[in-house]
Structure 1
Amino acid sequence: MRFIATFDAASFLDTVVSLAAAFILGTFIGAERQYRQRTAGLRTNVLGAVGAAAFADLASRIGGPTDAMRVVANVITGVGFLGAGVIMKEGLNVRGLNTAATLWCSAAVGSCAGTDMLAEAMLITFIIIAGNTVLRPVARAIDRLPLDERTSEVSYEVRLTVDTPALSALRDRLIEALEESRYPVGDVEEQPGPDYTAVLVAKLVSTAVDPAELDGVVERLEQLPGVRHATWESTTEE
C-alpha cells in the first residue's frame, strides 16, 4: 500500500501538533465570540483555524515553503468570502464586521500553526482576544464622547416638504440658499410627499458644517411661500 510506503511518523506527529494547536487556539477565540452570541461563534472559528492549518501543513509537506505561501494567500481570499456571509446590513447600520474580522484572524492563527510557527500563532490569539475584550470598554467610552459635526466624517441632507406646484422654483431657491451660505450641493432628489406635496432632498458636498449656521439656513427656507416644512440631518459615514 502506498500509505505504508509514504507514511512518516515524524511528519505525522508534526501535523498532529499543528492541527491540535489550531484547534485549541481557535477554541479560545471562538469561545469569546460564542459568549457574546455572535454569528460566527465557537465552531466556526475552530473550523476556520483548523482548515487553514490543514491546508498550510499539506502544502508545506508536499511542496515546501513557496507552495505553503501560495496556499496561505488563497486561504486569505477564501476566508474573506466566508466572512462576508456574517456581515448584515440593517438600514443604515452594518453588523458583523468585527465577527468577520475575527474569523479572518482565526485563519491567520491556523496558517501560523500549519507552518509550525506556534509561538506566533499564540501571540496572534492573545492579540485577537485582547482586541475583542480589553478594547471593548475603550470603544464604548469613545462612542459616548460628543460628536463634533464640524470635523467628523458625516454626510448632510437638507429636506424641504413643498407644495407640488412650487416644486421647480423652490428647487432652485434651495440650491441658491445653500450655496450663498457656502454649502455646495452635490445632488437634489425629488420624492413624493403626502397631500399633494413633494420632498426635496439636497445632499451637500462633503464639507465642514456649523450646525447653528445650517439651522439658520433651514429657518429661512421654511419661511418661503410653498414650503410646509424644512429640516436637515446628518449621518455618520461608515
Structure 2
Amino acid sequence: MIWITLEHILRVLIAGLGGAIIGYERSSRQKEAGIRTHFIVAVGSSLMMIISKYGFTDMGNWNNVSLDPSRVASQIVSGVGFLGAGTIFMNKQKVKGLTTAAGIWATAGVGMAIGAGMYTVGIGVTLLIVAVQFAMHRHRKPFAATRMPHRLTVRIINHEGAISSILDVLDQHQIRVVSLHSEVEPSVHHHDVSDTSYLLLQSSVQLDSTIQSKDIVPILQSIPDVQMVKIDE
C-alpha cells in the first residue's frame, strides 16, 4: 500500500515539475501566469486525476453503486478553462493573453496524463510545448539576456486622453508597460492657484534592446501634456 502511495506522490511531483518548466518560459516573458500558477495547475490536475481513478476503489463492491472513473477528471478541462479565461484581456483592440490561457489549459492536460500514469505522454507534451514556445520567439533574446523592468514616473496634465497619449508613444517605441498606477495631484506648486490638476503616473516598463532608459525622457517630454519625466537607470 505504501508503495502505491509513493507512486502517486511521484506522479504529482513529476506533473508539478512539468508545469514549472512551462511556467518558467511564460514568466521569463513577463506574462500574467508564471511558474507558480502553472505548477499549481499541473499538481492539482494530477491529484484530481489520481482521485478520479483510485479514490473510490473501496466502493467497488457496494451494491447498487455504479462508478465512473472519468467523472472527476472530466471536470478539470472545463474548470481550468475558466481559470485561463482570467488571463485574457483587450488592449487597444488587440486580444492579449491567449497563449498563456492555452498554456494553462495544456498544463492541466499534462498533469492529467502524468496523474493517470502516462509518463511518456505527459513529459513529451511538456517538452513539445516549451520547444514550440522557443521556436515562436526565436527572434527574441534568450532568457539570460532579458532586461529588467525600469520604474518610470511621469507627471501630466489631467484631462481625458492624456494617459492614452503616453501609452501610444510608449507602444510606438516598443516600450512595454508591465504595470501602471495613477493618482491625482491638485497642484504641483503651492503658488499654483489655477484649476489645473495633474496626474502622477508610476509604472514599470520593459525596454526593447534597441532603446536605452535615458532615451525615454526626451521622447516623453516631447508630448505637450507632460510636465515631468523620471526613470530609474
TM-score after normalising by structure 2: 0.53
**2: distance between equivalents of 1:21 and 1:110?**
8
Report matched runs for 1:1-150 at 5 Å.
8-63=1-56, 67-137=68-138
Query: How many percent of aligned residue pairs carry the same amino acid?
Result: 33
Counting only pairs closer than 5 Å after superposition, residues 139-178 of structure 1 correspond to structure 2 as none
| Bigger helix fraction | 1
Q: Give the C-alpha shift of residue 52 in structure 1.
A: 0.2
* Residue number in structure 2 paired with 1:188: none
Q: CA deviation at 1:42?
A: 0.5
Question: What's the CA shift string for 1:148-197, capped at 9, x where partnerless?
Answer: xxxxxxxxxxxxxxxxxxxxxxxxxxxxxxxxxxxxxxxxxxxxxxxxxx
In structure 2, distance between residues paired with 1:71 and 1:136: 36
Q: Residue 45 of structure 2 aligns to a residue in which SS? A: helix
SS in 2 for 1:134: helix
Please say which of residues 19-28 and 93-102 is displaced more in the overlay.
19-28
In structure 2, C-alpha distance between the alignment counterparts of 1:75 and 1:9, rounded to whole Å: 27
For the pair shown, the structure with the greater C-alpha radius of gyration is 1
Deviation at 1:31, TM superposition (A): 0.8
Task: Report deviation, 1:130.
Answer: 1.2
Match of 1:205 in 2: none
Structure 1 residues 96-122: Cα deviation after superposition (integer angstroms, max 9, x where no partner): 000000000100010011111111100
Aligned partners of 1:56 and 1:68 also within 8 Å: no
Deviation at 1:9, TM superposition (A): 0.5
TM-superposed deviation, 1:61: 1.0
The amino acid across from 2:124 in the alignment is: L
Q: What amino acid maps onto 1:108 in structure 2?
A: G
Aligned partners of 1:67, 1:53: CA distance in 2, in Å? Answer: 17
* SS of equivalent residue, structure 2 residue 30: coil
Provide the C-alpha distance between the structure 2 equivalents of 1:114 and 1:68, rounded to a whole number of angstroms.
13
State the distance in 2 between where 1:71 and 1:124 align. Answer: 22
Moved over 4 A (4+): none
Q: Do the aligned partners of 1:109 and 1:124 also contact (CA within 8 Å) in 2?
A: yes
2:137 aligned counterpart, secondary structure? helix
Does structure 2 retain, via aligned residues, the 8 Å contact 1:57–1:68? Answer: no
Query: Normalising by structure 1, what TM-score?
Result: 0.52
Aligned length: 131
RMSD of the alignment, in Å?
1.9
